[in-house]
Amino acid sequence: MQDRRYDQRVLVLVEVRGGQRDWDEAERAFGERDWPVVTSFARGEEPSLGVLREDPSARLYSVEVRFFGARNRRTGRAAAWQVERLARVKRLEMYARRCEPMDRDREQLTVWWAHGVAHRPPRVPEPRPSTPMAKLRRAAAVARARFTERRGHHDTGMVVTGTASEARRISRMDLPGGSAAGPATDVRPSSGRERGHIVPRREEDFHRRAYRLVAWLFAMTFCAVVARQQDGVRTWVWGCAAILCLLVAARLAHGMFASGGRGGSLVLCAAVAAYILASALGADMGDSRGWTPLQMLAVLAVAATAGGIWLLVRRWTWSEWITCAAPLAFAAVASLVVSSGSVLHAMYADGLDLTPEDLDVPAIWQATSAVKLLSLLSFALFVPALWGIAKHVHAPFVSPAERLGGVLYAVAQLVVVVVCLLGALESAGDAVKHLRAAAARKAELPSYFGVEPEWTCVEPTVPAAKLGTRGGVLRPERPYVSFGEAGGTVSLWDEAAGKSVQMPAEQVRLVPVADGTVRCTFSYASLPKGD
């Protein structure tokens, strides 16, 4: 059976009641979930002797429960939730009596390169050279040897890990099947320097510290951006908050990058913070606008959404993702793109008393509007992302026993979807409002996803009695907002009447003009007689 992926390992003392058949069913359930059974014994016997009362119908199992999620003070409780969920699925009387998280975090060992020492100057026998030139030549030889060692000119290709003394001894160790290294080797660190005061760090602990460092730097930048938008006392309050966040980040960085000395970590953290702060405040490339607090919150929301969705999908195996989720996701996105390609254009046309066929939008712009619609609807992923984060940190309301959490999730998801749909509808409504406002000012007209309205003088090629207009009466002496020709019909927007006017394309000639202040010079008297 293929090994399952997991984050946490918790040793759980599980009590199963009901007799031999239920015990066998529980053992099969443990095997299906790849939960190793360390040992099992009857209740009131072996380790539980004198601890629990004897019960012939109950048996205790020491099971290693494996599951996804962060390591925190609720990790043990999350293991109990896993047992509760299994008991509910298998319809067994099963209880988690003790949950003990297992710490298996990996240590971050220093990496070293092994190199030869034949290039080093030999030790000077007694008496030592006493002339200044001899001392200078020996110092130069030693400096040249150290320089070439640090540049890797004498590396043997061997890589070892551990402390400096461990790495040196391991590099000189003879292994069966390998070359006899002997004592003529030494080691150099692959990056940085080895220091005696370094506290060995664990991998997951380092990642947690890195996440906290990024969070405090983001908080510092946000406070600085808000301080830039304020004045008076509030500027000093937000500025002090930014400095406090920087000090906390510097303390975290000191624990993570202590190999460069106590001052190096502070310099590194200050450099990163200064760059982020300068970018946020727009100090680079002469940009004086910078970011706004709302933009900073939008960045945080996007990052949280991406991270939360990833915490959800990472629980799937690659085979499940490729065979099930990926085709379904692609089919859903493709169908939405095809079906919603003209949704925004349809709402835009409806606001102008037109139909999508009257606009004749190119297919590329229909696809672009579909992407816009999907981007507006993508905010609906925020609730599943928060749910994924809550499951990762073992929030109490995601436990199997808490039924209200699922109801709240469904209600929140429904509310967010409705808000996203209203936002999509508002996009087309705002475009129509901007167009009408520009038409009222006789100014330049805004475009909307391939729809390019323009001011146009409309010159009929037939007498007024034969002009087949729909929606109003054409007045050739003033310009109209034209949406071009589509399906043999010219669609116009009459700003004065506040409605659309349509007519056959073969009965008029369109002459574009600069803006709505131009007066057209057409006269029906100029038409040839007999038309």
User: What is the distance between the alpha carbons of residues 31 and 329, in angstroms, rounded to a whole number?
Assistant: 32
pLDDT confidence band for 327 (50 / 70 / 90): low
Whole-angstrom distance, CA of residue 345 vs CA of residue 359: 8
Range 322-340 burial, b when 16+ CB lie within 10 A, else e:
eeeeeeeeeeeeeebbeeb
Sign (positive or negative) of CA dihedral 134, 140, 146, 151: negative
Q: How far apart are CA 151 and CA 125, in angstroms?
A: 29
Q: What is the mean pLDDT of the chain?
A: 77
Average pLDDT over residues 11-19: 93
Adjacency order of strands within the sheet including 58-67: 37-42, 58-67, 8-17, 93-101
Q: Judge contact between 356 and 343, C-beta under 8 A.
A: no
Looking at domain 8-101, does it have CATH number 3.30.70.260?
A: yes
- Token readout for 330 is 């692609």
In the chain, the amino acid numbered 308 is G
- Helices (H) and strands (E) counted in the chain, each on its own, are 15, 12
pLDDT, tens digit, 9 for 90 and up, residues 59-75: 999 999 998 888 888 89
Residues 6+ apart with CB under 8 A from 45: 54
pLDDT > 70 fraction of the chain, expressed in percent and rounded: 78
What is the DSSP secondary-structure string of 226-241? HHHH--THHHHHHHHH
Domain locations in the chain as residue ranges: 8-101, 111-189, 203-290, 310-414, 454-526
Residue type for position 329? A
Predicted confidence (pLDDT) per residue in 337-384, tens digit: 555 556 777 777 777 777 776 677 766 777 777 677 767 777 778 888
Q: What is the pLDDT of residue 94?
A: 93
Structure tokens at 367: 């696809």
Q: What does the pLDDT read at residue 29?
A: 94
Rounded to an integer, the average pLDDT of 112-121 is: 81
Q: Which residue has the higher pLDDT, 150 or 528?
A: 150
pLDDT score at 330: 57
Contact call for residues 345 and 369 (beta carbons, < 8 A): yes
How would residue 96 be classed by pLDDT, with cut points 50, 70 and 90?
A: very high
Tokens of 187: 């080691």
Which position has the higher pLDDT, 212 or 145?
A: 212
pLDDT digits over 216-237, tens only?
888 888 888 888 878 888 888 9
- Backbone CA torsion sign across 187, 191, 193, 198: negative
